[in-house]
Each structure stands twice: as structure tokens, then as C-alpha cells.
Amino acid sequence: MHILFYIITMERERITISIKKEILERIDRKVDGTVMRNRSHAFEHLLSEALGIAKIESAVIMAGGKGAIRLIPVIENSILQLKEYGLSDITIAIGFLGEKIKQSIGAGERFGLKISYVESGDGTAGALNKLRNKFKKTFLVVNLDQVISINLSSLINFHLNHQPLASVASSDQKLLKGFYVLEPDIFSFIPDGFSMLEEDVFPKLINQNKLLIFPIIN
């Protein structure tokens, strides 16, 4: 069977390939109208996953709340999840009792990756703002206030295919806590001082149609 589709690159190029009918049927079953909008989108998504095109390298774990010390096992699980996805550079935002988190987690040697820390009591956006000179490419943020199970490859592909300023995966669309894929331009929306991504930054992006919600299918 011959089909036409657009392969994902910085610019799309129309190509023709031959593919077995049963494989095409399996690809069509992946189309859900959201994560994979149509057949061409499904090809892009699956090829990007297979080729590692959607990989990003850096992530921030938000662990600055007063209850963060009790979340050390959750932080460790998040680090392992990020490592499994292929991220190699992780920053943990810490605040109250941050030294205990640093002592427990370390610099990443036992995880086989690089872990650094940023200390802040300035909220999720304020903590992120201290890293504005670090991120020049797409990056990931994990907000441990909302622990959810998610396929990171699907989230990243969703973000790259739709190209918003921010993609948010959350089980609560009012609180918007969970996983965020962000572009460096996010820093232009973060004010100086204390601010929260969920309360101060994301509403601005929503008003400008620059934020998309990643559909979580239970």
C-alpha cells in the first residue's frame, strides 16, 4: 500500500512510502484525535519516538515546600523516571530543609546523571526564574505537589507537534500541577520576586493561547 505523509523536521517534506496493510491498521488505531490527531500526525509521533527526536536533556524538580523532606522517595522516583526517559541534567529547586534533601539525593552519582540545586523561597515561578540563563532549549518541569503517572515521550511529542509555549499534564485542570514542558520564552512571563507558575504565569499564557493541556487518559 502506498501512502503520503509529512515526516517531521524543522520543515515538513511530503514523501511517498509503501507499508503493509496490517501495520497501517495498527497505526490508525493509535489516532485518538488529541495526542495523535490524524494518520500523518501518528506517523510523526511514532517516528519521533523511535528516532529519539523528541528527547530533551534538562529538567527541574520542584521540591521547595515545607513538606518536601517527606517527599524524598518521590523525588528519587521522579529522578529515575527522568533518567529512564533519557534526561541527563536535573536541577532540584529546594527551600525549607533543602540541605537534608541535598544530603540524601547528592549530586547524581548513584543515579548516573548530573544533579544540581537551586535554593529559593520565591514560589515555583520564582525558583524557575533563577535558572533563566541555564535553559536555552525546551525543558521539563516536575511539580511534586501533584504526582501523576504519565508517558513522557507522549507528552514531549505532544508539545513539539503543537508548539505552544507551555504544555501542562495535570490531573486537575484548575490547579495545573504536574508535568510541564516549557520553552525558554516562558521567562519573559515571570515577574521578579515571588510568583507561582500555576497562579501567576499559566493564566497569562492561557489568555494568549500559548498553553495547551496534555490529555491524560485514565
User: What fold is seen in the domain 58-213?
Assistant: Spore Coat Polysaccharide Biosynthesis Protein SpsA; Chain A (3.90.550)
Question: Which residues of the chain are under the pLDDT cut of 50?
Answer: 1-11
Note the pLDDT tens digit of each residue in 168-194.
Answer: 999 888 889 999 999 999 999 999 999
What are the domain boundaries of the chain? 2-51, 58-213
Structure-block grid coordinates of residue 154: 507522549
Entry pTM: 0.76
The reported pLDDT for the residue numbered 200 is 96
3-state secondary structure of 46: helix
Note the pLDDT tens digit of each residue in 36-56.
Answer: 667 877 776 677 666 655 568
H or E element: which one contains 168?
Answer: strand 166-170
Dist. CA 213–CA 117, nearest whole Å: 28
- Strand order from edge to edge, sheet including 58-63: 114-119, 89-94, 58-63, 139-143, 178-182, 166-170, 211-213
Note the pLDDT tens digit of each residue in 157-174.
Answer: 889 888 899 999 998 888
Neighbour count for residue 153 (Cβ, 10 Å): 17
